[in-house]
C-alpha cells in the first residue's frame, strides 16, 4: 500500500463543483509594510463555497498561490446533526505542495467543510474555509456494510489468531468489485502480502499469503462513502476497526496417526491422542486442510438432525459435549469425548475431533478465534467456503481471483486504490507519492 497523506480529512457525504478563491487573514500579525516581504499565500478551494448537490464522485482540490499548503482538514456532517463529523478523508500534495487532492469520494448527502492552511516564503500563515453539500444517493440504492469480521459476536477488544481473515458482508450485491476492493484498506504493523476475494456478490474476504505475524494490530479502513458499488448504487459511509493479533498457535492433526500437536510461537507445547471421523460413510470423514477456530462453547448439543436425519432413522445421533471449538460451518468441532475409548488408536467419530476431557479443556481455554487447525491425510478436502476455510485456496489462485488481480503490502498504510490518486504500486510510484505528501 502507498503512504498515507499526513493531512486528515473528514468526509461525510460529498461532491465536487467549481473552484472558489478564499483569502483569509494571516495568523501572524505585523504593522506597516516591510520592504521585500513575501506576498501572502492565496488559497483556492473546489467545490466552491455554498455549492449544493455536488457530485460525490469528484475530488476536493485545494490550491495555493505564493505559498505551500501545510494542512487540510475535511469534516463531513450528517444534515440531521446526528453522530460525530467524519474526518477520515485523506489526500495527497503535488511535488511543490501547491495543490492538494482528496483521495476518496464524498459521503452522499453530507454537509462538507474544508479548512486549509498555507504558508508563504516568510512563514506567514493564511487559512481559508469552504462549505458545500454533497448530492444524495437515491433511495433503495444505498450500499451499507451488513457485518464485518466480528459478525460472530467478537469485539475489537478480542484477540485473534494468526490465521484470522477480514470478512466484510454487504446488504446489497456488489458489481463493481474492483472499485470496492480498492476502497477497503488493510494495514498491519508487520509486513504481509494480502488480497481480497469475493464469495458471491455480497461477501469480501481479505487474507494474507502467510499467517499474520503475531503480537500486532491490524487496521481495516472502509472508505466506501460515495463509491459506486453497482450501477447507481453507492456506499453510504466510511468505517474503521482494528484486530489485535495475539500469540501464534498452530495445531496440526494427522488422520493416520490419530495425534494432534499444538505449536505455540514456533515451539511444540502439546501432543494429544485424538479420534477423527470414521470412514464408514463419506459424510463422517473429517475434512483435510487448514481450518480456523471460529467459536467455542463449554457445553454444546450435537445431532445430525441438522442434516435431516430424524430420531429413529438409521444413524441418528444426539450428543451433549463439553469444550466444543468449532472449525467449520458443516459441523466439525474439536471437543471432549469421555465415551471414546479409541483416542490415539482409531477414527470413530461422526466427523469431529474427539479428545480427552482434560485435553479438550486445555484447548478450549487456549484457543483464540482465527487459530489455524491443519488436518491431514483424511482423503476428504476442506471447502474454501465452508466456514472460514479460506486458507485452502492456493495463494496464486487467491490473488488471481481478486478483482484487482494483485496483492498489497499491508505494512505500507495508505491509499492503494483511491479513485482520485495517480499512485503506482511500483517503486517509482511509491517515491513519487512520498514526495507529494511530504512524508
Q: Catalytic residue positions?
A: 335, 352
- The three-state (H, E, C) secondary structure of the chain, written as one string: CCCCCCCCECCCCCCCCCCEEECCCECCCCCCCCCCCCCCCEEEEECCCCEEEECCCCCCEEEEECCEEEEEEEEEECCCCCCCCECCECEEECCCCCEEEECCCCCCCCEEEEEEEEECCCCCEEEEEEEEEECCCCCCCEECEEECHHHHCCCCCCEECCCCCEEEEECCCCCCHHHHHHCEEEEECCCCEEEEEECCCCEEEEEECCCCCCCEEEEEEEECCCCEEECCEEECCEEEEEEEECCCEEEEEECCCCEEEEEECCEEEEEEECECECCCCHHHCCCEEEEECCEEEEEEEEEHHHHCCCCCCCCCCEEEEEEEEECCCCCCEEEECCCCCCCCCCCCECCCEEECHHHHHHHHHHCCCCCEEEEECCCCECCCCCCCCHHHCCHHHHHHHCCCCCCEECCCCCCCCCCCCCCCCCHHHHHHHHHHHCC
Amino acid at each position: 500500500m502507498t503512504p498515507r497523506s499526513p493531512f486528515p480529512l473528514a468526509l461525510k457525504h460529498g461532491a465536487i463543483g467549481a473552484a472558489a478563491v478564499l483569502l483569509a487573514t494571516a495568523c501572524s500579525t505585523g504593522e506597516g509594510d516591510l520592504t521585500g516581504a513575501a506576498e501572502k499565500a492565496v488559497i483556492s478551494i473546489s467545490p466552491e463555497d455554498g455549492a449544493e448537490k455536488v457530485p460525490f464522485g469528484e475530488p476536493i482540490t485545494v490550491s495555493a498561490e505564493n505559498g505551500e499548503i501545510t494542512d487540510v482538514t475535511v469534516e463531513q456532517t450528517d444534515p440531521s446533526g446526528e453522530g460525530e463529523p467524519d474526518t477520515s478523508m485523506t489526500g495527497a500534495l503535488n511535488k511543490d505542495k501547491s495543490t492538494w487532492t482528496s483521495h476518496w469520494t464524498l459521503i452522499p448527502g453530507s454537509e462538507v467543510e474544508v479548512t486549509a492552511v498555507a504558508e508563504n516564503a516568510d512563514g506567514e500563515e493564511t487559512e481559508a474555509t469552504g462549505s458545500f453539500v454533497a448530492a444524495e444517493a437515491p433511495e433503495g440504492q444505498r450500499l451499507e456494510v451488513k457485518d464485518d469480521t466480528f459478525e460472530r459476536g467478537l469485539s475489537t477488544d478480542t484477540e485473534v489468531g494468526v490465521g484470522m481473515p477480514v470478512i466484510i458482508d454487504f446488504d446489497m450485491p456488489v458489481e463493481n468489485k474492483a472499485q470496492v476492493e480498492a476502497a477497503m484498506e488493510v494495514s498491519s504493523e508487520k509486513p504481509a502480502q494480502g488480497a481480497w476475494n469475493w464469495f458471491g456478490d455480497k461477501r469480501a474476504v481479505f487474507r494474507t499469503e502467510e499467517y499474520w505475524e503475531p503480537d500486532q494490530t491490524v487496521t481495516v479502513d472502509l472508505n466506501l462513502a460515495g463509491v459506486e458499488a453497482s450501477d447507481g448504487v453507492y456506499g453510504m459511509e466510511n468505517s474503521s476497526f482494528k484486530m489485535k493479533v495475539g500469540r501464534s498457535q498452530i495445531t496440526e492433526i494427522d488422520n493416520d496417526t490419530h495425534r494432534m500437536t499444538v505449536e505455540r510461537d514456533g515451539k511444540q507445547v502439546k501432543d494429544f491422542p485424538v479420534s477423527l471421523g470414521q470412514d464408514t460413510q463419506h459424510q463422517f470423514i473429517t475434512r483435510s486442510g487448514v481450518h480456523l477456530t471460529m467459536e467455542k462453547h463449554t457445553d454444546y448439543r450435537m445431532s445430525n438432525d441438522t442434516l435431516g436425519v430424524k430420531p429413529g432413522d438409521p444413524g441418528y445421533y444426539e450428543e451433549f459435549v463439553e469444550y466444543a471449538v468449532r472449525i467449520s460451518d458443516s459441523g466439525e468441532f474439536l471437543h471432549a469425548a469421555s465415551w471414546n475409548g479409541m483416542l490415539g488408536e482409531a477414527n470413530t467419530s461422526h466427523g469431529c475431533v474427539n479428545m480427552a476431557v482434560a485435553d479438550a479443556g486445555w484447548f478450549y481455554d487456549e484457543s483464540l478465534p482465527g487459530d489455524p487447525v491443519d488436518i491431514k491425510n483424511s482423503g476428504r478436502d476442506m471447502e474454501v467456503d465452508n466456514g472460514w476455510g479460506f486458507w485452502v485456496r492456493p495463494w496464486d489462485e487467491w490473488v488471481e481471483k481478486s478483482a484487482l488481480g494483485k496483492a498489497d503490502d499491508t505494512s505500507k498504510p495508505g491509499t492503494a486504490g483511491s479513485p482520485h490518486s495517480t499512485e503506482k504500486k511500483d517503486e517509482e510510484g511509491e517515491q513519487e507519492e512520498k514526495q507529494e505528501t511530504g512524508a
